[in-house]
Amino acid sequence: MTSDNIPNDDGVSSSSLYKSMGSKLTSNGSWKLDMPRIEAAIRDILLAIGEDPERDGLKETPKRVARMYEEVFSGLEGEPDAHLETTFDHPHDEMIVVRDISYYSMCEHHLLPFFGSATVGYIPNERIVGLSKLARVVEHLSRRPQVQERLTCQIADRIEQVLDPVGVAVILEAEHTCMTMRGVKKPGSSMVTSVTRGVFRENPSTRSEFFNAARTRQP
């Protein structure tokens, strides 16, 4: 089972979940959010909680939420592979690590945000990619209904499959508002997930070097 098909709590894969959302393909095959459907759903929610969707503060809320969803779920369109297609021939064969990549995503269980930072490292296999492209992969994949565990795997999977590096490693740290503002209500708590591929998984010293680089700032 690939990380793209990790089932949710109801046993539905993420790819099936995305297809069942209120979205559609345009005539040229691009992804488009079904804005009127979202607006109608938000209006129904406001009515269901006993609010008046016609009062001044809420009249435009369905449209605002639909526009927000268009932005925060924009990663449902396509895959991030295009960000990694332009590479450069370079003999660098040591570890490359990009730290403190901020990201926001939406927990698919409660549709509440989780946010934090990512650290991505890889050892090139003769070709390197532009620095910002790793951040773009993180951003693209985070702009979907997600769970942090799957997001971590997907970032590593895309880099591994497109760049074919000697190894790749990813660490995500995030605060989940579904845990801080509801349920157990533990503000300040965070979740850390990591994935290693290739030499990072096979070689303990390489893995240790990555984790040290991820948390150590040089003077």
Residues serving a catalytic function are 107-110, 148, 176, 178
Q: For residue 27, give Cα distances in angstroms to 6, 20, 32, 176.
A: 30, 19, 10, 37
CA-to-CA distance for 84 and 155, rounded, in angstroms? 12
Q: Would you call 65 helix, strand, or coil by DSSP?
A: helix
CA-to-CA distance for 10 and 4, rounded, in angstroms? 16
Contact predicate 66/35, CB 8 Å: yes
2: which residues sit within 8 A by CB, 6+ positions away? 157
Scan for tokens 């938000």, then name that residue.
42
